[in-house]
Amino acid sequence: MKKTLLASSLLLANSLTAAMAEEQELGLSGSGEAGYSQTTGNTETESIYGALKLNYLQKAYELKGLVEGSNKSEDGNKTQERYLGDLQANLFISSHPKAYGFGQFRAEQDRFASIDLSTYYLAGLGYNFYKQKNLVLQAELGAGYQNIEYTSESGEDDTSQIIGKFYGNFEYGLNERVRFLQDLSIFSGGEQTIYETHTGLKVNLNGSLNLRLAYKYRYNDTPAEGKKKEDTETVLTLLYDF
C-alpha cells in the first residue's frame, strides 16, 4: 500500500512539474534584433540587419508576426537587399492541447534574386512535441498557394504554384545562458522548391539583452536565369526580449 501511494505521489508530482514547465505567460511578447558591421581600407563594406518578432498568446489561439530586413554593400555598390514579412495565426485544438491548426501569410522581396514580390498563402496542422523552458520541438505540415513576381530586369515571366509546406523547429538550452537554435522550412511545388535553414546560438548577456550568432542557408532549385541556387548569410546581432 505504501509503495503504491509513493508511486502515485511521484507520478502526480512528475505530471504537475511537466505541466508547469510547459505553461507560458499569456499576452504579448517578442524580441527586437539589430546588427551592423563596417570595414574600411582596400575594400569598404557595410552590412545592416534588423528583425522584429511579436507573439500574442491566449489559451485558445496564438498570433505570430515577423518583419525582417538585411542590406549589404561593397565599395558603394549594393550586393544584398532582402525583406520578409510573415503573419501566422494558430488555433489550438481543445481535445489535443499540443496540436493546432494554422493559417499563414508570408511575403518576401529579394531584388538580388530577381524577386520583386513572392507571396504565400498557407493553411495546415502543427504539433508542439515539447514546449518547455529549455526544450522546444515543433513541426508543421500544410498546403497553399504561392505567387512569384520577378523584377522587370530579369526577363522572367511571373508564375504561381500550389505548394506544400514543412516546418520544423528545435531549441535546446545548453545552460542557463546559452541556447541552441535550429529550424528548417521547405516550400515545394511544381515550379520550384525552396529550402531554408537557420542555425544559431543565443547567449544571454544581462537580463533581456542577448547576443545571437546565426548562419542562414537558402536553396532554390529553380532560380531566375543567371542566379545562383544557394544563398548564405552569417549574422551577429544584439537581441532584446520583451
pLDDT digits (tens, 9 = 90+) for 185-197: 999 999 999 999 9
pLDDT at 160: 96
Domain assignment present for residue 49? The answer is yes
Read off the C-alpha cell for 80.
544584398
Q: How far is CA 220 from the centre of its chain?
A: 17
Residue 7 within any structural domain of the chain: no
Segment 40-56, tens digit of pLDDT: 777 788 899 999 999 99
pLDDT digits (tens, 9 = 90+) for 63-92: 999 999 999 888 888 888 999 999 999 999
Report yes or no on 162 lying in a domain: yes
Phi, psi of 62 (to 5 degrees): -145, 135
- Whether residue 10 lies inside any domain: the answer is no
Residue 234, in any domain of the structure: yes
Query: In this predicted model, what pLDDT tens digit does every residue of 99-146 receive, in sequence order?
Result: 999 999 999 999 999 999 999 999 999 999 999 989 999 999 999 999
pLDDT at 170: 98
pLDDT of 138: 98
Task: Look at residue 12 in the predicted model and tell me its pLDDT.
Answer: 40
The answer to whether residue 3 is domain-embedded is no
Residue 154 sits at φ, ψ, to 5 deg, of: -75, -25
Determine the Cα–Cα distance for residues 135 and 114; give it in Å rounded to an integer.
38
DSSP string, the chain: -HHHHHHHHHHHHHHHHHHHHH----EEEEEEEEEEEEE-SSS-EEEEEEEEEEEEE-SSEEEEEEEEEEEEEETTEEEEEEEEEEEEEEEEETTEEEEEEEEEEEEEEEGGGTEEEEEEEEEEEEEEEEESSSEEEEEEEEEEEEEEEE-GGG-PPPEEEEEEEEEEEEEEESSSSEEEEEEEEEEEESS-EEEEEEEEEEEEEETTEEEEEEEEEEEESS-STT--SEEEEEEEEEEEE-
166-210 pLDDT, tens digit per residue, is 999 999 999 999 999 999 999 999 999 999 999 999 999 999 999
Q: Please tell me the predicted confidence (pLDDT) of residue 83.
A: 97
What is the total count of domains within the chain? 1
How far is residue 1's CA from residue 9's CA, in Å, rounded to a whole number?
12
Q: Is the pLDDT of residue 6 over 70?
A: no
* Percent of the chain whose predicted confidence (pLDDT) is above 90: 77
**Is residue 146 one of the residues assigned to a domain?**
yes
Q: In the predicted model, what is the mean pLDDT of residues 13-39?
A: 70
Q: What is the CATH number of the domain that holds 137?
A: 2.40.160.40
Inside any domain, residue 2: no
Enclosing domain of residue 106: 24-241
